[in-house]
Structures are given as structure tokens and as C-alpha cells.
């Protein structure tokens, strides 16, 4: 960071954190309740008045200086969802028997970490409104993912059963071969309970099917066209289906291979059988009917990248609809708004900051929109 940038941060941030009047050299004033700093992971200087420690690891810190009620949100040293997932124990629980843990294919904690960060900020602001005091809230992405291990931690604490051990269920079965037929942290011990290949049999053509009762099994039999093998007495009860799971799964998959995963899902759900397709990222964005109905992905025009679908807000609010209608900003796109409108500096000081490398490296050519903002 250029010396001018350090001076700007040191002068501006303390007032912003306190929610106090902020006066720039241009005489403008403004106020802010929450300050977000994304530079801590790159070795930025500690924010004055926050007690922020750059050596703190693993996620998000919300800090306030005390009286005045400000909060500072700071992302900490470099992290990634896959790292948080691994440290939290989630990765260890995924994968197939005899193979290394595989991890998830979706960066779930990226979304969840942001959600918990917003919840912490709202809680801190509520506390400020009630007491007039700011506070320090420290939250990491890893810690916020630990509660997802709750059922398996309970299974280990109460029953002494680890989440991965010899006899770990193949595929998505609910029962470990050779172990007692009892319910566990994965849910009730039932059959069928697996992911089955579907037409045309490519790497991503799978559909999960679960029957929690004999009645649901009978519904599935009708969906399959009442094949003669399904009428065998050994499949009539849950105990029999669990005892003959291998044969049961082979027969169901012979049928499931005749249908596409979305067609199979619709047939099962219409009959009251639990079924969902296994989806890739492309499936979720382009083919999932529920996500399409929820408008989870919307097309947004980006000035540099063109028209692309981006993730919309994953929740629906009846009175204040949330929708991502703007593209991600270009680098430095809002420098003028921040420096002049928020901090109260003059246009001349903005130009000087570009000239001395505070806002953009002097050795690199500026983008056209940067030159436009300096006119």
C-alpha cells in the first residue's frame, strides 16, 4: 500500500468504526456503522482503534471500539472453503469405503460463512441499539461449519461410533454391513436407500431413491411397473430388504437405467416416493426446476464479461425482496464514490492519489473508467 493509502486508512477508519462524524480534508462529513476490510489477508495494517490482530486466523472478525457503537468486519489471513471444510471435519465424513475422503463438490461454507457474518453483524447492531455500545465479534468460517457435524458428533459421544470405520456403508446406503440394524446419525436404517444410475449412464447420471416405510416401497413397486422380482416375500418387509440390499439395489438400478434422472424423479415424487437427481453445477444452474422457480440464478450483464448467470439471494423476503441485479464491480470502479462521497475528499485529492500510487499502481495503465472518474 502506498504511504498515502496508509494515511487515508488510519485517518478515516477510526471515525467510521465509531459511527461518528467523519471529516475528510475536503470538509465533507458522513457516518458509518459497519466497516468492511478485505485487505487483512494481504497484510494490511491493523485498523486503529479496533484491536484487530493481523495474526488472527480463519475467517471473519467484527470489531467495535466501544462507545459509539461501531463494528468492523475483517476477513482474515488467506482461507478457502475447502480448507475450512477439511478442518471442521466435514471432508473426513465424505467419500467411499476404501478410498481417501473426497470432500464436497460445492463450496457450501462460502455461502454459510457469509450468512453467519451477516447474522453476527445484525446481532451486534441490535446490541448497539439497545446499549449504545460497540463490540468485538470474532467468527471464523471453520467454526461456523462445525455445527454441521452435529449428528455425527452426537453419534460418537453417545454411541462411541466414529464417522468413518471398517464397514462404512457403500454408496448411500443407510446401513453398515455386519453391524446392528439400528438408526444412526445418517437417519433411519431403511432400504432402499441409495443413489442409482440412470439413462444414459454417464458419470453424472444418478438419482437417489429412499423408501422409509413398507407403504413407500409398495408405491415404488408400482412406479417400476410391478415387476415380478419385487413381489418376492423377501422384499415385502424392511427387514427382508435390508438383508437382501445388494440384490435389491441391482434390480432397482436395472430399472432406473431405463429413465433419465429428471424423468425418474418426477415419476417417483408424483407417486409419493422420495427421489431426487444427483446434480452437477451445470444441472443446478440450467436444469433444476426448483432452483429455476426460486430464481436462484439470474442473468446479469457484466461490462467486461457479458451476460452470465449469477447466484441470486438464496432466500425470499415477503416485504423486502432481495435480488442481485448488479454485476460484481470492476477493480477500482467505485474509488471516486468512496473517496469523495463517503470520505469527503476533493477531486484534486483524488487525482493526487492516483498520481502518487495510492489508488492505483503508477506503473500500470489505468482502465478507461478510471480516467473517466478523474475528469
- Give 223-231's long-range contacts (Cβ < 8 A, gap of 24+): 223/267, 223/268, 223/271, 223/273, 224/252, 224/255, 225/255, 227/251, 227/255
Q: How far apart are alpha carbons 286 and 284 in whole angstroms?
A: 6
Coil, strand or helix at 103? coil
Least Cα distance to 40 among 21, 64, 62 occurs for 62
Map residue 349 onto helix, strand or coil. helix
Q: Which helix (H) or strand (E) holds 261?
A: helix 261-270
Indicate if 214 belongs to the active site.
no
Which candidate in 11, 110, 283, 288 is catalytic? 110
Is residue 204 within 8 Å of residue 282, measured between CB atoms?
A: no
How many Cα atoms sit within 13 Å of 114 on the Cβ side? 8
Residues classed as catalytic: 110
Amino acid at each position: 500500500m502506498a504511504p498515502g493509502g496508509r494515511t487515508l486508512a488510519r485517518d478515516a477508519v477510526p471515525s467510521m468504526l465509531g459511527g461518528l462524524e467523519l471529516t475528510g480534508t475536503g470538509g465533507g462529513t458522513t457516518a458509518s456503522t459497519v466497516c468492511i476490510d478485505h485487505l487483512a489477508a494481504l497484510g494490511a495494517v491493523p485498523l486503529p482503534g479496533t484491536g484487530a490482530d493481523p495474526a488472527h486466523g480463519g475467517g471473519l472478525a467484527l470489531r467495535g471500539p466501544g462507545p459509539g457503537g461501531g463494528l468492523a468486519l475483517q476477513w482474515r489471513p488467506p482461507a478457502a472453503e475447502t480448507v475450512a471444510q477439511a478442518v471442521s471435519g466435514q471432508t473426513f465424513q465424505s467419500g467411499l469405503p476404501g478410498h481417501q475422503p473426497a470432500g464436497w463438490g460445492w463450496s457450501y461454507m462460502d455461502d454459510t460463512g457469509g450468512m453467519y457474518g451477516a447474522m453476527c453483524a445484525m446481532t451486534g447492531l441490535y446490541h448497539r441499539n439497545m446499549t449504545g455500545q460497540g463490540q468485538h465479534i470474532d467468527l471464523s468460517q471453520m467454526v461456523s461449519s462445525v455445527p454441521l457435524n452435529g449428528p455425527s458428533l452426537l453419534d460418537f459421544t453417545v454411541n462411541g461410533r466414529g464417522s468413518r470405520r471398517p464397514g462404512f456403508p457403500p454408496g448411500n446406503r443407510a446401513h453398515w454391513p455386519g453391524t446392528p440394524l439400528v438408526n444412526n446419525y445418517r437417519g433411519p436404517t431403511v432400504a432402499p436407500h441409495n443413489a442409482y444410475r440412470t439413462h444414459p449412464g454417464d458419470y453424472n447420471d444418478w438419482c437417489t431413491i429412499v423408501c422409509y416405510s413398507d407403504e413407500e416401497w409398495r408405491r415404488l413397486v408400482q412406479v417400476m411397473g410391478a415387476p415380478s422380482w419385487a413381489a418376492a416375500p423377501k422384499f415385502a418387509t424392511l427387514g427382508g430388504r435390508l438383508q437382501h440390499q445388494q440384490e435389491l439395489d441391482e434390480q432397482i438400478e436395472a430399472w432406473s437405467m431405463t429413465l433419465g434422472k429428471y424423468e425418474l424423479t418426477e415419476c417417483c415424487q408424483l407417486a409419493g416416493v422420495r427421489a431426487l437427481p444427483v446434480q452437477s453445477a451445470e444441472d443446478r444452474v440450467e436444469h433444476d426446476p426448483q432452483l429455476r422457480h426460486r430464481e436462484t440464478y439470474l442473468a446479469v450483464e457484466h461490462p467486461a464479461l457479458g451476460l452470465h448467470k449469477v447466484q441470486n439471494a438464496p432466500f425470499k423476503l415477503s416485504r423486502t425482496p432481495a435480488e442481485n441485479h448488479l454485476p460484481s464491480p470492476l477493480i477500482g470502479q467505485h474509488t471516486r464514490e468512496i473517496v469523495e462521497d463517503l470520505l469527503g475528499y476533493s477531486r484534486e485529492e483524488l487525482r493526487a492519489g492516483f498520481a502518487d500510487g495510492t489508488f492505483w499502481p503508477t506503473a500500470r495503465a489505468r482502465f478507461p473508467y478510471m480516467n473517466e472518474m478523474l475528469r
